[in-house]
Chains A and B, each alone.
Chain A
């Protein structure tokens, strides 16, 4: 029972353009969401997070948008760089729980 879904296994974008990665969830009790980036042979590294009281959070080139009514979040990368090529995972948890539900990941390829 996948409570967090990333329906696009892969995405290819030209350098300098915007990358938009999407994530859907089913559990309305989720109130904290994160994005992780993973390079081959390395563990995931934290990218950006958002709590349910916000609908947007920015950190440099990365912006996460949360639409609670649609149970949807997205990660925007502007401008995309070749070094951004990696697998991106979204994750969600309920407040006061230290258990995260991860999506299956989207492999982003940024072409020079």
Chain B
């Protein structure tokens, strides 16, 4: 079974631009979560999607949005980029998103905002 795939691997943008990150979950997994990792901050929850519906959201501004398609693939969008958005963005999938399910993470997209 292929793992969680995130594209692109690296991205360089300038302030004010917008960016779209993509995530393909493990086949059969219907829950996709997004996390932001910054040095010293650990992983911070952005949002979770299941069957094309956002079920849970973290404490991020509205510039961060996402969506999920019928094939469970998910995209995350960040508009009006700020320097502080530079981070590793990780996508994780699980079968149903139930609490006792472990998350399977992709390798992440490293976003640099200049």
- What's the A-B contact tally at a CB cutoff of 8 Å? 66
Q: Which residues of B contact A46 (CB under 8 A)?
A: 102-104
A98's contact among B35, B43, B98, by CB below 8 Å, is which?
B98
Interface presence of A70 (CB below 8 A): no
Q: Are A41 and B107 in contact (CB-based, < 8 A)? A: yes
Closest 7 CB pairs of A and B: A43-B105, A102-B43, A98-B97, A104-B42, A46-B102, A102-B42, A99-B56
Point out residues on A near B: beta carbons under 8 Å: 2, 4, 6, 9, 32, 34, 36, 41-46, 49, 51, 89, 91, 93-105
- Residue among B50, B90, B103, B104 having the largest count of chain A Cβ atoms under 10 Å: B103
B45 at the interface (CB under 8 A from A): yes
Are B108 and A99 in contact, with the CB atoms below 8 A? no
Chain B residues touching A, range: 20 to 34
- B residues in contact with A103, CB < 8 Å: 42
Chain B, interface SS category:
strand
List residues of B whose CB falls within 8 A of some A CB: 4, 31, 33, 35, 40-45, 48, 50, 55-56, 58, 90, 92, 94, 97-100, 102-108
**When the two chains form the complex, which single residue of B42, B90, B94 contacts A43, counting CB atoms closer than 8 Å?**
B90
Rounded to whole angstroms, the CA-CA distance of A4 and B48 in the bound complex is: 19
